[in-house]
Amino acid sequence: MAEQIFKEIKAIIGLGNPGPKYAFTRHNIGFMVADELATLHGGSWREEDLLAHGTVRINDRVIYLVKPLTCMNDSGKIAPWLKKYGLHVDELLVVHDELELPFGTIAYKEGGGAKGHNGLRSLIALVGEPFRRIRCGIGRPESRDQVANYVLGNFTEGDAQVDAMVKAAANEVAKRLG
């Protein structure tokens, strides 16, 4: 990931599915990173409308943390809340799972399409483009018809490796917020 400081970022959106059933699934890596950021930087969560949100102080900047509490496919329904708080698409950093990256890889991307990721598709449709992304590699199953079960399945790589990826992604976000 090229060195870049995100001075204009005001909110970090972690993508996932709500509820304990999905807590340790591959699709929930965005929630896990948002939770790690809250833990590391003194944040707490408050539920409102269709989301959980809080603020953290990272490198002397106050940043919103947001977790849509809709199903992944409806993540963009947080658009009215973002508008209410004056947050624009170019001020958002979205953290999500990425099938196209090997497990544990953390990568930055600006803009781009959804490439089959329904959470991103919903955000693009209802919030707009381009937002920045931190992509957390979860690998890809052997067959395309296994993708839905794979992303909604629990991690099998081991708790320590998942924890290391979550910490690495949270540290990368904090570093880039300068």
Residue pLDDT, tens place only, 145-160: 999 999 999 998 677 8
What local confidence, expressed as pLDDT, does residue 159 receive?
73
DSSP H helix total and E strand total for the chain: 5, 7
86 contact partners, CB below 8 Å, separation of at least 6: none
Q: Is the pLDDT of residue 15 over 90?
A: yes
For residue 133, give the amino acid letter.
Answer: R
**Tally of domains within the chain:** 1
How far apart CA 31 and CA 93 sit, in angstroms, is 13
Q: Is 23 a member of any domain?
A: yes
The answer to whether 138 touches 99, Cβ cutoff 8 Å, is yes
Domain at 162, CATH number: 3.40.50.1470
Partners of 93 in beta bridges = 12, 132
pLDDT of 2 reads 43
- Average of per-residue pLDDT across 37-41: 96
Q: pLDDT at position 49, please?
A: 81
In a domain, 63, yes or no: yes
Where in the sequence is the domain holding 169, given as residue range(s)? 11-176
Share of the chain above pLDDT 90, in %: 81
Tokens of 139: 């690998």
Active site residues: 27
8-state DSSP, 154: B
| The pLDDT of residue 5 is above 90 | no
pLDDT of 62 strictly over 70? yes
Domain annotation covers residue 6: no
Answer whether residue 3 is part of any domain: no
- 5 is a domain residue: no
User: How many C-alpha atoms does 176 have within 13 Å on its Cβ side?
Assistant: 23
> ∠ CA 149-99-153 to the nearest 5 degrees?
25
Question: Is 2 domain-assigned?
Answer: no
Band the pLDDT of 116: cuts 50, 70, 90.
confident
Kindly tell me if the per-residue pLDDT of 12 is higher than 80.
yes
Q: Is residue 65 part of a domain?
A: yes
Determine, yes or no, domain membership for 104.
Answer: yes
C-beta of residue 15 within 8 angstroms of C-beta of residue 69: no
The phi-psi region of residue 66 (left if phi > 0; otherwise alpha if psi is between -120 and 50; otherwise beta) is beta
| pLDDT for 1 beyond 50 | no
